[in-house]
Amino acid sequence: MTKLIILGSSNAIPDVHHENTHMVLAGEGRTVLIDCADNPILRLPRVGVEFDSLTDLILTHFHPDHVSGVPLLLMNMWLMGRRRPLNIYGLHHTLDRIEGLMGDYSWDEWPNFFPVVFHRLPAGEMTSVLDCEEFRIFSSPVRHLIPAIGLRIELKRNEKVIAYSCDTEPCAPLIRLAAGADVLIHEAAGGALGHSSAAEAGDNARQAEVGELYLIHYPTGKYASGDLVAEARHFFQGPVSLAEDFLTLDFG
């Protein structure tokens, strides 16, 4: 059983019902956290995922609403006696800064710290991030304000494909990354520089010929406006939904 669980669905300004965008891919052998906005120790138990079962952490880019939870995540794992290694994947731009941030916390002086293995990803299209028994994960550069990657997850058992846009303007590498995916999870922060509107997300879903579209990283609370699903449906004929916190997508 492989599930993708949305742990947060908001853009950079969360509200009480929507944490910043991050999610977990829970498989049988691997549990992959995708971005770490908040401290996931509070949300993982609510979705039945053991905190210490996290094997991998993919960081899409070094913006606070995607990585600010990393120091606390690592500290809590250490304080709870973690011994098993944690793999962290990201672009050089991202991981250099994460290491710098942890250096500022003097983590090298934390006794008996568990092994953290950094995997620096090249910025090329369809870079292999992780290849295990259950799934393959690829990254491609997308067009944001700083270096950022979108992800493609291919399940080996049933050939289901999930794509995640990350924060991006519409761009060709994203269309290629998402091509033919069963599910596209696409940001809808609005049409500002480095982001996409719901209409653009719909248009990207159409171009990539995906099966289904979930909008994420959208304005929430007092910043929410308009009918994002209707805007996306204007361009994409398939099913469109808002990804909400704790939404679970079951991929069998």
Q: Closest separation between CB of residue 21 and Zn ion, Å? A: 9
- Show the tokens assigned to 232: 């996306």
Residue type, 149: I
Of 78, 88, 102, which Cα lies nearest the Cα of 35? 88
Site size toward Zn ion (CB under 5 A) is 2
Considering only residues 107-146, where is the footprint of Zn ion by CB under 5 A?
none
Residue 196 Cβ vs Zn ion, minimum distance, rounded to whole Å: 12
Q: How far is the CB of 146 from Zn ion (least distance, A)?
A: 7
Q: What CA–CA distances, in Å, run from 89 to 92, 128, 162, 209?
A: 9, 11, 18, 28
User: How far is it between the farthest Cα atoms of the chain?
Assistant: 56
Residue 97 vs 136, nearer CB to Zn ion: 97
**Could you say whether residue 167 binds Zn ion (CB under 5 A)?**
yes
**Least separation in angstroms between CB 167 and Zn ion:** 4
The number of residues in the chain equals: 252
Interface with Zn ion includes 63 (CB under 5 A)? yes
Considering the rule CB under 5 A, would residue 195 count as an interface residue with Zn ion?
no
Task: Tell me the window of 70-78, 82-90, 164-172, 196-204 that interacts with Zn ion (CB under 5 A).
Answer: 164-172
Indicate whether 35 belongs to the interface with Zn ion (CB under 5 A).
no
| Among 28, 80, 14, 23, CA closest to 57 | 23
Is 38 near Zn ion (CB under 5 A)? no
CA neighbor of 59 nearest in space, from 116, 18, 1 = 116
Instruction: Tell me how far apart the alpha carbons of residues 13 and 17 are, in angstroms, rounded to a whole number.
Output: 12
Contact 29, 61 (CB under 8 A): no
Residue 26 vs 58, nearer CB to Zn ion: 58
82 lines the binding site for Zn ion (CB under 5 A): no
Of 81-89, 163-171, 179-187, 223-231, the window that binds Zn ion (rule: CB under 5 A) is 163-171
Give the interface segment with Zn ion, choosing from 77-85, 157-165, 166-174, 202-210 (CB under 5 A).
Answer: 166-174
In the complex, least distance from residue 182 CB atom to Zn ion, rounded to whole angstroms: 25
Report the residue number, 57 or 161, with the smaller CB distance to Zn ion: 57
* Helix intervals (H) in the chain: 64-67, 70-79, 92-104, 172-178, 198-208, 228-233
Where do contacts with Zn ion occur on this chain (CB under 5 A)?
Answer: 63, 167
